[in-house]
């Protein structure tokens, strides 16, 4: 992933989390980042950490955020952020299909406006 896209991805996700925490204080501890990033320049350390994290449950292809709020339709909401022309990788598609089969809602978000709409719609389901 290019640095420009990584930075844009990070800014988008940060803006969405900030908005969510301001709007939905009652759910501030239920919006959880799933950390799959290892942007280390030291390849040896990155491999060591990757192997350790994988043994601890790291799942390659997992969405970026999880909203641990269920409703009568879904067990929770997984959110994958994509910036610019980024596309889902095959592993991400496979993980999302598995999550949806487990009755979780999964969405791909490309803007703050889209995130706000998704969250408002999802939380309106009772």
Q: What is the pLDDT of residues 102-117, one digit of tens each?
A: 999 999 999 999 999 9
- Distance, CA of 114 to CA of 112 (rounded, Å): 5
- Distance, CA of 92 to CA of 86 (rounded, Å): 12
- Distance, CA of 58 to CA of 72 (rounded, Å): 29
Q: What is the pLDDT of residues 51-60, one digit of tens each?
A: 888 888 888 8
Q: What is the pTM of this model?
A: 0.88
- Distance, CA of 88 to CA of 82 (rounded, Å): 8
Q: What is the pLDDT of residues 73-102, one digit of tens each?
A: 999 999 999 998 899 999 999 999 999 999
């Amino acid at each position: 992933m290019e640095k420009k896209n990584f930075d844009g991805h990070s800014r988008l996700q940060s803006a969405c989390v900030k908005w969510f925490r301001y709007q939905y204080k009652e759910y501030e501890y239920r919006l959880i980042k799933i950390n799959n990033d290892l942007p280390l320049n030291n390849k040896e350390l990155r491999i060591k950490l990757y192997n350790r994290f994988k043994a601890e449950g790291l799942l390659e292809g997992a969405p970026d955020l999880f909203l641990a709020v269920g409703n009568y339709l879904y067990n929770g909401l997984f959110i994958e952020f994509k910036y610019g022309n980024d596309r889902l990788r095959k592993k991400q598609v496979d993980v999302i299909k598995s999550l949806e089969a487990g009755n979780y809602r999964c969405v791909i978000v490309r803007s703050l406006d889209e995130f706000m709409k998704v969250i408002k719609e999802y939380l309106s389901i009772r």
